[in-house]
Structure 1
Amino acid sequence: MVIEFLKFKVAPETRDNYLQQDAAIWTTALAKYPGFLGKEVWINPHDPTEVTFIIRWATKEQWFAIPLEDLATIEQKFSQAVGNTYELIESKEYQIW
Structure 2
Amino acid sequence: MSDQPIAIEHLCFRVPPGGQRAFVLQDEQVWGPALHQQPGFLGKEVWLDAEDPELVHLIIRWASHAAWKAFPSEQAEALDRQMRPFYVRLEQAREYQLWQPDLLGEGQA
TM over 0.5: yes
TM-score w.r.t. length of structure 2? 0.79
Query: Share of identical aligned residues, percent?
Result: 39
**Deviation, structure 1 residue 84:** 5.6
Greater radius of gyration (CA) = 2
Which residue number corresponds to residue 58 of structure 2? 53
| Residue 2 (str. 1) matches residue 4 (str. 2) | no
Unpaired runs of 5+ residues, structure 2, are 1-5, 100-109
Unpaired runs of 5+ residues, structure 1, are none
**Partner deviation per Cα, 1:26-59 (whole Å, 9 max, x = no partner):** 1221111000000000001232101101100001
| Alignment RMSD | 1.3
- Give the total of aligned pairs: 94
TM-score w.r.t. length of structure 1? 0.88
- For the residues of structure 2 that align with 1:3 and 1:26, how far apart are their CA atoms? 16
**Partner deviation per Cα, 1:63-94 (whole Å, 9 max, x = no partner):** 10111111112112333xxx163310111100
For 2:96, the aligned partner's letter is Y
| Residue 64 (str. 1) matches residue 69 (str. 2) | yes
- For the residues of structure 2 that align with 1:19 and 1:84, how far apart are their CA atoms? 9
